[in-house]
Chains A and B, each alone.
Chain A
């Protein structure tokens, strides 16, 4: 066995890796923000007393959770193309990732909503708050707090899964790696480096969620039990 690693040719391409990493983070950021919005609306929809709304949200969740991400990406990519709509690979990738993570987020946030004791809602109703006010002021934050660790994991997973969008030539980190390894013939070294960069990105995201948690859960901060 003769393992001969040479990172020199790889490391000198660091600006390309950096660009790829930035793009990966951008994809993750967009899908996280929009996915959270979809997740909240989807969770409210799934709990709706309106059977059609609840059913539509249920179908969305099940359809996404039972198909591979790559297939979903191709569906968006070729679907939009066959409708004659032209979008950049980045836009398509961001859209597909958002649709994907929105379904998982819907389920996670729904679990958070379901975990709010009935008494909390009754107390709010007793104070004459409207349904929307109850969701916004009473249910939302404690529900998200309960599932915040799951949400964090889901969004980190999403960032890692965004490597699949290299298949439609989004210029994210994995696509950059594919291109550099075919250029330098240093495949193993390239993917070692890329793996390290992904680990760093994951840590950055987790740190970001931790900081965000300090801001949106002031009680946790005050009582010294941050998430």
Chain B
């Protein structure tokens, strides 16, 4: 089912326009533009090295861009005077390698940022930790340490940790690439539930079947450019030979 999405500028949560980025002599992003509206799920696909992860990381300013403009929840990300921490309170990001803090329990992992960044009380934060863990189906893991959890559970806990900051948009950077198919399934189910709740999301994934089911919009990146974009249907009937070859090879 596709959600109804408005496309007026007011509902734009993430906007990239003509973004360029090089690592030394290597041009990674070569004029990338796309927009994500509130409640929308945008899926970035493409070959390794096509620039999709870099594009995603630019949204949260883990990479700085050379030219162009990025606006996220009203923050001008490309502005050198950007309040980085204000941006990152609005944006949640989940990585391929979970990156839970190993010395903290799952509860401590989740309450750390709400307590130290937002200044909410310990009791309130714990209450919230319980809620977000229930959301990802891990309420019984509150007092476990990350290493006691499976990869899939760790990734769900990492998602819960991000949710506890109540972000306006979530970024997922190949979050299932380190997981076997069964664990991948449990993580994707959590992401699906978030989408159904209306969370705005941008994700980089190689799970084409999943992308088809969840994407409001697909962006196919190729050589640092948006090569083809459209609804999830483009994955089944691509317009360009490059995307046809990519999904053909992927299925």
Check B117–A128 contact: CB distance below 8 A: yes
CB of A15 closer than 8 Å to a CB of B: no
CB of A127 closer than 8 Å to a CB of B: yes
A126 and B93 contact, Cβ closer than 8 Å, known pairs A137-B112, A137-B116, A141-B103: yes
- Chain B residues near A122: list those with CB within 8 A: 62, 95, 99
* Residue of B91, B93, B103, B158 contacting most chain A CB atoms (<10 Å): B103
Cα–Cα distance between A59 and B127 once the two chains are bound (Å): 49
Cα–Cα distance between A31 and B103 once the two chains are bound (Å): 27
Cα–Cα distance between A141 and B108 once the two chains are bound (Å): 14
Check A126–B103 contact: CB distance below 8 A: no
Interface residues of B in 140-174 (CB under 8 A from A): 145, 147-148, 158, 161-162, 165
Cα–Cα distance between A161 and B102 once the two chains are bound (Å): 35
- Chain B residues near A141: list those with CB within 8 A: 103
Check B93–A128 contact: CB distance below 8 A: no
Nearest chain A CB to B151 CB, angstrom units: 14
Check B97–A127 contact: CB distance below 8 A: no
CB of A119 closer than 8 Å to a CB of B: yes
Check A127–B165 contact: CB distance below 8 A: yes
Nearest chain B CB to A132 CB, angstrom units: 10
A142 and B113 contact, Cβ closer than 8 Å, known pairs A126-B93, A127-B161: no
A123 and B95 contact, Cβ closer than 8 Å, known pairs A128-B88, A128-B89, A128-B165: yes
- Chain A residues near B148: list those with CB within 8 A: 223
Nearest chain B CB to A185 CB, angstrom units: 56
CB of B210 closer than 8 Å to a CB of A: no
CB of A183 closer than 8 Å to a CB of B: no
Main secondary structure of the interface of A (DSSP, over half): helix
- Chain B residues near A145: list those with CB within 8 A: 103
Check B95–A138 contact: CB distance below 8 A: no
- Chain B residues near A130: list those with CB within 8 A: 85, 117
Q: Interface size (A, Cβ < 8 Å)?
A: 22
**Within the complex, which residue of B62, B99, B103, B113 is in contact with A128, where a contact is CB–CB below 8 Å?**
B113
Interface residues of B in 71-116 (CB under 8 A from A): 85-86, 88-89, 91-93, 95, 97, 99-103, 105, 112-113, 116
CB of B60 closer than 8 Å to a CB of A: yes
- Chain B residues near A137: list those with CB within 8 A: 101, 112, 116
Q: Closest residue of chain B to A136, judged by CB?
A: B116
**Within the complex, which residue of A119, A125, A142 is in contact with B103, where a contact is CB–CB below 8 Å?**
A142
Cα–Cα distance between A43 and B91 once the two chains are bound (Å): 31
A128 and B85 contact, Cβ closer than 8 Å, known pairs A119-B97, A123-B95, A219-B102: yes
Check A126–B60 contact: CB distance below 8 A: yes
A126 and B92 contact, Cβ closer than 8 Å, known pairs A145-B103, A219-B102, A219-B103: yes
A-B contact pairs, 19 of them (CB 8 A): A120-B101, A123-B95, A126-B60, A127-B88, A127-B112, A127-B113, A127-B161, A127-B165, A128-B88, A128-B89, A128-B165, A130-B85, A137-B112, A141-B103, A145-B103, A219-B102, A219-B103, A219-B145, A222-B145
Chain A residues near B (Cβ < 8 Å): 117, 119-120, 122-130, 133, 137-138, 141-142, 145, 217, 219, 222-223
Known contacts A126-B95, A127-B113, A141-B103; can you find 13 more A-B pairs with CB under 8 A? Answer: A119-B99, A122-B62, A122-B95, A122-B99, A123-B93, A123-B95, A124-B101, A126-B91, A128-B113, A129-B113, A138-B101, A219-B145, A222-B145
Kindly list the 9 A-B residue pairs having the minimum CB-CB distance in the complex, ordered from nearest. A123-B99, A127-B113, A128-B88, A126-B93, A119-B99, A128-B85, A128-B89, A128-B117, A141-B103
